[in-house]
Amino acid sequence: MIGFALPSSAALTELLLEPARVRLETAELSGLRIRLLGELPRLAEKLPPGERLQLGTYELLLARRHPEGCGLVRGGFVPSPVRARRAIGLLAVERCVRGRVSAPQTAVAEVLASGIEELADDALRVGGGRPRWWARWYASLGPGGRAIVQAEAATWATQLWTALEWHRFERPPVVGGRDDYWDCPGRRRLLVRSRAEVRALAHGRSVLLVVGSGCPGPGWRAELANRALVLAMARGERSVPARVVGLWPASGTVRTCEVGIDALSEAADELVSAAAVWVEARVRARREEAGAQLRGPSGSPLVDPVVGSRVDAA
C-alpha cells in the first residue's frame, strides 16, 4: 500500500505500470468464491419477494458510512451536472487519447454537441443505437444550465487527462468502457457492479485506475479491491488486475491496492456487510409500507407480507 499527495503524471503513470508485487494463488481465489457463494445467496433470500438488490460503489459507501440512510433511498435516477460529468468527461478523454482532440475542454464541447445531434438523428433512425442517457436532459437545459454541465465535465476530464502520461502505455488504454457485473446465483437477485475510469496493460497484466470524489476514507483499500473482486467472480482468475490505483483529484491523493488474497478478502468482508445492511433496510421499508396489513381485524397476526414468514434480522 502506497499513498502520497499531489502526484505528478510521471509518478502516477510509473506507479500504475510497475510489475505486480503480489501473487494470487488459484486455491485462495477458489476458497473466497466458495465463501461468497455460501454467504451472499443466504442474505439475498431474505429480500422481499419481487425485489432485486444491486450493489455498486455508492451503495457500498452508503452502507459503511451512513447505514441508517439505506432505508431512505427512494425514487429513480435524477440527472445533474455532477452526475453527468463522468459520462461526458470519459468520452472527452477518450477523444484525446485517440488523438482526435488535443484539449479536454474542446473535446467536452464536441461531446455535448454530438449528444444534441444524436437526439435529432434518433427521430429518423430505425434500429440504430440510442442517444446518450444524458443527451435529452442536457438538451432541455437553458444556456446557464448547459454552461454548468460543460464546466463540470471539462474540469473532470482535465483532471483525468493530465493525471497520466498516456504515451507510455504498451497500447492505448481503455477509457471508461462498460461497467462490470457479477450476478450472484440464487432465487433472489443480487447484482454486484463495479467500474473503472482507465483499464490498461502492464507487463502482461491488467491494471485499473479509479477516480474518486472528495478524499479517501478509512475503507479505501476495500473500495479499490472491490473492482478486482467483481472481475474475479464474474470472469475468473485471469481477469484479476495486478493492482487498482485510486485517484482523488479534489484532495490530490493517490492510493494503490496490490491485488492479493488479503485485499480481496477485505473487499469480500465489505460486500457481505453491505449486503446485510441493504437487505435489512429493504425488509424494514417493506414492513413499514405494509403497516396496517400485518394484523387482521381481530388483532391476530397475519402472515408477514414481506417474505411470507418470519424474517430474522440480517
**Residue 71: its pLDDT value, please?**
79
Q: Is the pTM of this model over 0.75?
A: yes
Q: And the C-alpha cell for 54? A: 444491486
For the chain, the domains span 2-54+170-268, 81-163
Residue-level pLDDT at 74: 63
**What span, in angstroms and rounded, lies between the C-alpha atoms of 78 and 30?**
39
Task: Return averaged pLDDT per consecutive 10 residues of the chain, 314 residues in all.
Answer: 60 95 94 96 92 93 92 77 97 93 93 92 62 94 97 97 94 93 90 97 95 92 97 94 96 95 97 96 86 53 46 35
pLDDT at 2: 45
- Strand arrangement of the beta sheet that strand 174-175 belongs to: 2-5, 253-258, 243-248, 205-211, 198-202, 174-175
- Number of continuous H segments (helices) and E segments (strands) in the chain: 9, 9
* DSSP element (H, E) containing 211: strand 205-211
HSE, CB side, 13 Å, CA atoms: give it for residue 3: 12
CA proximity to 200, closest of 7, 30, 18, 1: 18
pLDDT at 285: 86
Which DSSP symbol is given to 65?
H
pLDDT at 306: 44
pLDDT of residue 148: 98
